[in-house]
Structure 1
């Protein structure tokens, strides 16, 4: 983080100041970041979320008293994967956690450390990564998609990650740490719960406060929202943006 702030960030800000006002079109992944670009650089981007296509699916039933948590993404230090592992290990026995992880930047050293950690757990498993287009079908057998990310950067604080949309297409409920954009969607569509903070205890409290009935309702809410939170809307925005640019240059 320090190297980014000292070496990379000044360069990126310089590029944005110089070139964004010259761009025929600019897009970004959510409204909060679009507001930030407008405030800092005087450019108003279109919002094209990092969503995935609509899948025909239905929520899977619960497996007795078990509540099956799942997380998918990069095995990147700072993503609080250890927090999720530790929270499940100290939560009540209803909860299991499956992790579909991609090694980061050509190095599996962090992923190897996670594998060593999971070997001590009887309720957490690590699986090989799944191709993005296959991910919703793979995740459908679970109940809750979980993601904890402390706001160490502006992008973290304003995150709207693709995994949220993957979880919705898989018809899962959500358990996310606080963030402006994810909070808004979870609340608007009734998709799940937001933790009070980013520590193990915060996630444990959120999980142990859940009932089976709530989990089923979260999964049903994801099913109801799957069309609206698919990429069809975002592709429409992108098409209109491209058509406008082509009309202007033609």
Structure 2
């Protein structure tokens, strides 16, 4: 129900050629997929650590979130994030609500949209976002995702234009877990598209696997900056529990 058939033929070459996505400091984000599994409920904790930020200190951000499928097409998620700041080691960053809509696809390609609302404080702008998600089944247990993210800031001190980001990954499933590479990039806004050296691009390996038979899953990864505007290193962990 509510699904629309979308046929998109991306070659792997195009995917890898443009798979650049946002690598912000203390990046707790993920390369999220479009698939909604009816009955799904889970809780997750994430932490990202920058061992040498712009001030030469170790910084971090961490967040918790809960997600639950409404049916086979829609899923909602609520999250809260805190971060280390000059004022506190555990300062409020934002809360965010999300709604994922899985569109109809094929065994080889699935697509979806995610709608976000992020609320901040201390005069920082709130934002709304619409994200386009794609997941590809390649061959011999290889898979890939490609995302386009757009954000619009609203409220106090908001920037003009749409913020533009992409994310992508490629991974292989095995009996030991999933091993792959992910990439994050942010380009600026439609009002001020940055030069490449001022954009944030980061790439790195990740590993994830289920633990036991009780619905636990772990993820570990490292992002390495490839432009001057990117953090040098971002170490990322998360733990998920299906309920």
Q: Structures share a fold, TM > 0.5?
A: no
TM-score by length of 1: 0.31
Give the strand-richer structure, 1 or 2.
Answer: 2
Which gives a bigger RCO, structure 1 or 2 (Cα 8 Å, sep 6+)?
1
TM-score, scaled to structure 2: 0.32
